[in-house]
Structure 1
Amino acid sequence: MAAQGGISDPGLITLVNKLQDVFTTVGVQNPIDLPQIVVVGSQSSGKSSVLENIVGRDFLPRGTGIVTRRPLVLQLINRDKEANADEWGEFLHIPGQKFHDFNKIRDEIVKETEAKTGRNAGISPAPINLRIYSPNVLTLTLVDLPGLTKVPVGDQPRDIERQIKDMVLKQISKPNAIILAVTGANTDLANSDGLKLAREVDPEGQRTIGVLTKVDLMDDGTDVVDILAGRIIPLRLGYVPVVNRGQRDIDNKKAITAALENEKKLLRESPSIQEQEHILRNPLSGQKAEPYLDDAHQADPPRYQGSYPGFATKVHD
């Protein structure tokens, strides 16, 4: 069972969700250091696949360039499957409307993004709050941020790199944020944009989880176990291997459940990984996440209630 008050404690997450919604409604960018998981990585790192794997559904916009152009506050709410097996999403900006079609969730994210940023490649710090109810998720709050980029293209602002970096640093600098640093395994880990930025605010790797995507595309001779075991860049919370769906799989609408089974098969058949049983236990799915995520805050428990006790109590009530 999760430790009371830990980041995966449903009561705490409910309070955090309420606070996030209040701040978004009044146009304030989280003045309190809320416990949350912040997802960072380059444009091509596979962030979307990681988030969709966690949810188990296709719901995020895809394309070239910067697809995530506003922070997406993703509030996952676990529901009792026997009581209600339905899955749906709700947006803070459309109160009372349930989206049972996850394709329409994707369309609404695009529509609401363009309402703030236009159709061009600009970004905005104003978040989109999306709550997903499902029996297949762990109650969890994640913040997805625009993918890191270096060179502006097309209509992107000339300072797009600085804008995105500033936005990411503002989120991950908070001591109560767990950083989910997503890196493609087919790139040099030392050049990982997500890990580089994470190390600026978490140099000892105490609150960073490394997510290694595209492990099926790793170069020959690269020992994935050295990376996952932390012998290249050590992280206290470790690494998670992920096999992304290819573009053909996405175009053919391959179900994420089928993709996850394929991932499990590929990882178990890998000569480098098959004897590392602990690596195969994806800590971001199901109840396995509870002790894993709570461990991130054992040494430094959430402090925001002490900073704003009256306000937090009022919102909780």
Structure 2
Amino acid sequence: MEQTGILIDPAAFQAYTELRKIAAEYNMEDELEVPQLVVVGETSAGKSMLIQNFIRFPCTFGAVDVATRCPVAYRLVHKPNLERGKIRVVQPKNINNPAELSGHLKVVMEQIQREERTGFTSKLYQVELESADYTDFEIVDVPGLIAGSGDKAARDTVEDLVEVYVRNPRFSIVLLKEASQLKVNAYGALRIRELCTLPKGRVTTFPPRHDYEEHMITIQTKFDTIMKTKNGTAVNGLIQQSCEDFGKTYFVNMIFDGYSMEDNLYKTNVEYIANLPQLEKERVDEWINNLNAAATQSSGNFQKFNSDYRELIGIDVVRQQIQQLWLKVCN
């Protein structure tokens, strides 16, 4: 498998690997704190899709009728003796090939949906992956927060289990929302704030985490909704408002032309993930060029695209920002 590596600043990664060697020498590997991150957001915000684009192989299930039903921890383990570009599944133990993982998780989620009263459980399901290209990292994918007037019992169950992670100071937070969603309608962002800062936790004894935003980034998915806008003035205003509303925020569109992971072979999906950064760059740059051309030709005084915003857009930008959370924990 090619291009599965997670690229971390080489100096920082070297320092971390040296620390791991020392810990191993003194049998203290279990005491070496592994950076932990939780990915949160409303249902269908793209959490699972982001995780597999970060891990760089299709490890999550993609069925439209099956949701994440429990917290899933993807524990990445650095194994320098493995061949570069190869991934070994350690857990679940009955999975021998990474290509089998997404199908296995789908079965697990369907079983939880059938057997649990609310359709969800707080019990953690662990996936452990080894690679020479990984840094030690744990990424927890939790069920999507349920907005609206749906099943209250299910909504409460999900919010209880999400609190366990977002209120825990050991976890950095990646919040996903759709790019077209205004702050006033961003139920997921509002609930995360409340779960972190309420004086008393719903199910945990953690104190309020008032500084949670210092340990969180917001990823705005489905950026293609913004790319339908042909007016540079409107685009600049939308991005500026998003930055003001959500602080450290970045934009990504992980699917183009209606591509479906579920409808394609594993190998094809691996190639899609590997090629996504270049595809996205080409599409975004073409869109920006069209905005700038319209600004030059328009009698409506359209602005050109603010070039400062370009560095906020793209799956590689998002990966780098998640990696910065890794560095922040390790330093």
Change (3 A) 1:17 1:160: farther
Change (3 A) 1:212 1:55: same
Q: State the distance in 2 between where 1:124 and 1:69 align.
A: 6
Q: State the distance in 2 between where 1:181 and 1:226 align.
A: 18
Of 81-90 and 207-216, the range deviating more from structure 2 = 81-90
Corresponding residue for residue 285 of structure 1: 319
Corresponding residue for residue 178 of structure 2: 184
Q: Deviations over 1:262-304 (max 9, x none)?
A: 1222334453464445435735537x75444333676xxxxxx
Q: State the distance in 2 between where 1:214 and 1:180 align.
A: 16
**How does the TM-score come out when normalised to structure 2?**
0.67
- Where 2:70 maps in the other structure, the secondary structure is coil
Q: Name the % identity.
A: 17
Question: 1:226 and 2:243 equivalent?
Answer: no
Of 34-43 and 179-188, the range deviating more from structure 2 = 34-43
Aligned length: 271
- Where 1:133 maps in the other structure, the secondary structure is strand
- Where 2:12 maps in the other structure, the secondary structure is coil
* Paired amino acid for 2:159: K
Of 175-184 and 239-248, the range deviating more from structure 2 = 239-248
The correspondence of residues 1-317 of structure 1 with structure 2, limited to 5 A, is 1-2=11-12, 35-64=35-64, 67-80=67-80, 83-92=83-92, 94=93, 97-102=94-99, 104-118=100-114, 122-135=119-132, 137-151=134-148, 158-200=152-194, 201=196, 203=210, 205-218=213-226, 220=229, 221-223=234-236, 225-226=239-240, 230-234=243-247, 238-246=248-256, 248-250=258-260, 251-252=263-264, 254=269, 255-271=272-288, 272=305, 274-276=307-309, 278-280=311-313, 282=316, 284-285=318-319, 290-295=323-328
The alpha carbon displacement at 1:111 in A equals 2.9
**How does the TM-score come out when normalised to structure 1?**
0.70
- Where 1:118 maps in the other structure, the secondary structure is helix
Q: State the distance in 1 between where 2:280 and 2:128 align.
A: 27
Change (3 A) 1:101 1:173: closer
Change (3 A) 1:2 1:12: farther
Structure with bigger gyration radius = 2
* Paired amino acid for 2:249: Y
RMSD over aligned Cα, in angstroms? 3.8
* Paired amino acid for 1:110: K
Change (3 A) 1:5 1:12: farther
Contact 1:2 1:294 in 2 (8 A): yes
The alpha carbon displacement at 1:165 in A equals 0.8
Change (3 A) 1:12 1:181: farther
Structure with greater proportional helix content: 2
